[in-house]
């Protein structure tokens, strides 16, 4: 068996694992990233696209935003359609913060290139990853790299391996409390090679179900339809997808929607999951490994980046000063932000979707909430602060000084 040694063994080369590795390297902390999929696969995986300003600022401070600053689409508001009328929520006017549309796979490509350029160790197509002895001060990760059995000794293990990863499973059941909620619908998402029909995100609340028009670039549109859970993709040929999108976005009988070749399609279940605490011994979970939210409020990737920011800062203080207090407080800081994200995701999900069992009374209540949002500046501001991520900075603000992505002055 080949034996390696690092300071932080990171499982998973999604946004969380790669960003953590990069932030640690900026502070001179060594890590090895282990990813079960191929590089090509993780670079092509289509998922999130809405980055909050706090996430963009973190990437910028860490020197990761050159391409994002050139290609990302900065937004200052979104459109909301319901009851046959269109309204705009100008979140930048209300909060001073913007959002940025930039595909998660592009962010992952940028991160991999940055790790490569810095000589970072990222191993793809790694099999049999198994964290060991996480409750001790000498945790290890066993795995198979290019057919060789490898054991990596580390000071800490970061579980950044997503919802279906292996790290969370290594924590004894009695050591954590888990929370789960499954929604009775799913999202059918498509990526299409067609210029977006809208400049800003367009959320459409329709009696047939919710639809979202998003975008990844001036030439690529991303669109979603609320569908039944476990909806077979085979039931959705291109013409049916476009027809349903046209219907749900239609305004005053007009069905204007740019259509083009569909590059990829998938059905995503709508689920919330959380665990407390997010750490066990020397194992720290970050991002989707510890919590997931339905994509309605686009919080998943942003919460993942927020976790990583806290974890990188806590590890930095541990290595620089030998202080364990920030590591011990990791869960507390992240969970407050995470529950805020859970709550807002649940609010947006119930505001936008048609629930299969809802009665006419529930429909009327939703319409009243939507009307309030577009007529009350106070309601719109409170909503916008959550939407752009500003509300989260208040929760993590106290710890903020220690959390800068900039390398510490030595």
Ligand X SMILES: Cc1cc2nc3c(=O)[nH]c(=O)nc-3n(C[C@H](O)[C@H](O)[C@H](O)COP(=O)(O)OP(=O)(O)OC[C@H]3O[C@@H](n4cnc5c(N)ncnc54)[C@H](O)[C@@H]3O)c2cc1C
Residue 159 within binding range of ligand X, rule CB under 6 A: no
Neighbours of 127 (CB within 10 A): 12
- Is 364 annotated as catalytic? no
Residue 144 within binding range of ligand X, rule CB under 6 A: no
* The one among 6, 16, 31, 170 contacting ligand X by CB under 6 A: 16
Between residues 113 and 323, which has the closer beta carbon with respect to ligand X? Answer: 113
Between residues 79 and 363, which has the closer beta carbon with respect to ligand X? Answer: 79
Residue 49 within binding range of ligand X, rule CB under 6 A: yes
| Minimum CB distance to ligand X, residue 43 (Å) | 10
C-alpha dihedral (362, 89, 245, 299), degrees to nearest 10: -80
| Strand 2-5 relative to strand 73-75, pairing | unpaired
Residue 131 within binding range of ligand X, rule CB under 6 A: no
For the sheet with 283-285, list strands across it. 121-123, 31-34, 8-11, 156-159, 283-285, 279-280
* 293 vs 287: CA distance, rounded Å: 11
Phi (first) and psi of residue 133, to 5 degrees: 55, 40
- Is 90 annotated as catalytic? no
Length of the chain as a residue count: 410
Residues 104 and 47: beta-carbon distance below 8 Å: yes
* The one among 159, 165, 341, 389 contacting ligand X by CB under 6 A: 165
Cross-strand pairs, 50: 101
Between residues 39 and 354, which has the closer beta carbon with respect to ligand X? Answer: 39
Residue 35 within binding range of ligand X, rule CB under 6 A: yes
**Selection from 302, 316, 284 nearest residue 22 by Cα:** 316
Applying CB under 6 A, what is the total number of residues that bind ligand X? Answer: 35
| Minimum CB distance to ligand X, residue 310 (Å) | 14
Between residues 112 and 327, which has the closer beta carbon with respect to ligand X? Answer: 112
Q: Which of residues 225-284 bind ligand X (CB under 6 A)?
A: 268
Q: Which of 75, 206, 213, 353 is catalytic?
A: 75
- The DSSP-derived string for 56-71 is HHHHHHTT--HHHHHH
Between residues 112 and 373, which has the closer beta carbon with respect to ligand X? Answer: 112
- The DSSP-derived string for 225-277 is EEE-TT--GGG--HHHHHHHHHHHH-BTTB-------EEEEEEEEEEEEEEE-
| Minimum CB distance to ligand X, residue 226 (Å) | 13
User: What end-to-end distance do the CA atoms of the chain give, in Å?
Assistant: 38
| Minimum CB distance to ligand X, residue 121 (Å) | 14
Q: Which of residues 71-100 bind ligand X (CB under 6 A)?
A: none
∠ at Cα 262 (261, 266), nearest 5°? 175
* The one among 26, 30, 37, 125 contacting ligand X by CB under 6 A: 37
From the list 154-162, 195-203, 334-342, 360-368, the region that binds ligand X by CB under 6 A is 154-162
Binding site for ligand X (CB under 6 A): 11-17, 34-37, 42, 47-50, 104, 126, 129, 160-162, 165-166, 189, 268, 287-288, 295, 298-302, 304
Residues labelled catalytic = 75, 203, 295, 299, 387
């Amino acid at each position: 068996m080949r034996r390696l040694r690092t300071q932080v063994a990171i499982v998973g080369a999604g946004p969380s694992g790669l960003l953590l590795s990069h932030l640690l390297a900026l502070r001179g902390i060594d890590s090895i990233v282990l990813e079960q999929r191929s590089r090509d696969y993780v670079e092509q995986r289509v998922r999130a696209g809405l980055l909050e300003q706090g996430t963009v600022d973190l990437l910028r401070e860490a020197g990761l935003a050159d391409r994002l600053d050139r290609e990302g689409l900065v937004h200052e508001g979104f459109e909301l359609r319901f009851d046959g009328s269109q309204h705009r929520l100008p979140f930048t006017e209300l909060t001073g913060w913007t959002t940025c549309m930039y595909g998660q796979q592009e962010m992952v490509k940028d991160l991999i290139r940055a790790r490569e350029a810095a000589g970072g160790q990222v191993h793809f197509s790694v099999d049999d990853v198994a964290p060991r002895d996480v409750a001790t001060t000498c945790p290890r990760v066993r795995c198979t790299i290019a057919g060789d059995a490898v054991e990596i000794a580390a000071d800490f293990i970061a579980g950044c391996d997503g919802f279906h990863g292996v790290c969370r499973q290594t924590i004894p059941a009695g050591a954590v409390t888990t929370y789960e909620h499954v929604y009775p619908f799913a999202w059918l998402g498509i990526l299409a090679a067609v210029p977006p029909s809208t400049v800003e995100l367009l959320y459409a609340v329709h009696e047939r179900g919710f639809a979202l028009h998003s975008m990844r670039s001036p030439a690529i549109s991303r669109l979603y339809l609320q569908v039944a859970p476990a909806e077979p993709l085979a039931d959705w040929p291109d013409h049916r997808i476009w027809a349903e999108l046209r219907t749900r976005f239609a305004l005053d009988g007009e069905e204007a929607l740019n259509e083009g070749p569909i590059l990829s399609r998938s059905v995503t279940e709508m689920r919330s999951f959380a665990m407390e605490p997010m750490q066990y011994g020397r194992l720290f979970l970050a991002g989707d490994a510890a919590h997931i939210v339905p994509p309605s409020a686009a919080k998943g990737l942003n919460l993942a980046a927020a976790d990583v920011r806290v974890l990188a800062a806590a590890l930095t203080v541990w290595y620089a000063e030998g202080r364990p207090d920030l590591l011990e407080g990791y869960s507390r800081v992240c969970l407050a932000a995470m529950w805020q994200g859970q709550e807002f995701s649940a609010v947006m999900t119930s505001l936008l979707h048609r629930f299969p069992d809802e009665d006419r009374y529930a429909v009327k209540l939703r319409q009243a909430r939507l009307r309030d949002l577009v007529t009350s500046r106070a309601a719109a501001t409170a909503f916008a602060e959550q939407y752009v991520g500003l509300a989260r900075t208040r929760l993590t603000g106290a710890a903020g000084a220690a959390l800068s992505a900039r390398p510490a002055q030595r």
